[in-house]
Chain A
C-alpha cells in the first residue's frame, strides 16, 4: 500500500490519475477494464467458433478434406512464431514493470518483427489458396470430386484467420505508439499501464490462434484414418 505522501507525489507527477487514491486501485481498474474488453472479444470470436462447430457437425467430411489442403508445417512454424511473439511481449511488460523503458521498447520491436513474419507467411498461404482457386466467392474452382460443402470450410478459414490477422494488424499499430513512448521514458515503475494492456491484448491474439491452429490445420478424417 502506498503511503499518503507517496500518493500525493504520484498525483503530482501524473503517474496516478486524480480520480484514483492508490496505484493498486489504478492498476486493478485498468486490468478489470481490459478484461471486460477481452471477454467481449471472446464473445466475438466465440460466434465464429460456434459457426465452425455447427457446420463441422453437419459436414465433417468437408472439414477434414479442407483441413488437408492446409500445410501443417507452415501452420506449425507460424504457431511457434506467434508463441515467440507472446514471450517477447511478456518480457516487454516485465521490463516496463522494472522501469527499463528502452529494453521494453526493444522487446516490443522484436514482437512486431515476429508478428510481421507471421503475417507474411499468412499472406503467402493466402496467395497459394488464390492460386489453387480455393477462395469462396472470389475465385472458387475446387478440383473435380471435391466435397460439395468444401466452400464452407474455406469461407470459415478466411473469415476466422482474417479476423485474427486484423487483430494482429491493430496490435501492430498500437505497438508503434507504445514502443515510442516506452523508449522516451513515458512509462514508470508506478505506471506502465500502456504496456500492460497492450500485453494483455497481444496474448489474447495468441490465445485465439492456439485454438484456430488445431481446428483448421490438424483435422482427422471423420470416423478415423486420414
Chain B
C-alpha cells in the first residue's frame, strides 16, 4: 500500500513535544532577565526554533518532496523580506523617541 507515507516512531513526537515545552520554559525564563538589546533576538530565536520543530516534524516537511519545501519556505522568506523592508523604512524615516533621531 502507501509505501511513501513515513510513519515516524512515537519517540520522535514525544521528543519534539518535550523540546517545545522546554523552549516555552526557556522563553519565559529569558523574559524575566534583561539581556539589553538581545531581549527580542533571544525571544525570536527561541520562537523560530520551536516553529522549525513543528514544521519539520509535526508537519512532516522534513520528509516531504522538494516542491513542498519550496512552498513552505517561500511563505516565511517572503514575510522576512516584508519585515526587513518595512523596518528599514520606519527605522530611518520616522523619528522615534529614545533613538536619537
Contact = CB atoms under 8 A, between A and B. Distances in A.
A53 B83 contact: yes
B87 A39 contact: no
B7 A57 contact: no
Nearest to A23: B2
Q: Which size bracket describes the interface of A in this complex?
A: 35 or more
B90 A54 contact: yes
A214 B86 contact: no
Given A87-B13, A210-B54, A50 B86 contact: yes
A89 B1 CA distance: 23
Interface string A36-78: 1011001100100110011001101000000000001000100
A226 B39 CA distance: 12
- Interface SS, A side: helix
Contact of A91 (B13, B43, B83): B13
Contact of A86 (B54, B79, B86): B54
21 contacts: A2-B3, A42-B76, A43-B75, A46-B79, A46-B82, A53-B87, A54-B86, A57-B87, A57-B94, A72-B28, A76-B28, A83-B17, A87-B13, A87-B16, A210-B47, A210-B54, A213-B24, A215-B43, A218-B31, A218-B43, A226-B34
Interface of A: 1-2, 6, 23-24, 27-28, 31-32, 35-36, 38-39, 42-43, 46, 49-50, 53-54, 57-58, 60, 72, 76, 79-80, 83-84, 86-87, 89-91, 94, 97-98, 189-190, 199-200, 203-204, 206-207, 210-211, 213-215, 217-220, 222-226
In the A-B complex, the 6 residue pairs with the smallest Cβ-Cβ separation, listed nearest first, are: A39-B75, A218-B31, A42-B75, A214-B43, A87-B17, A35-B71
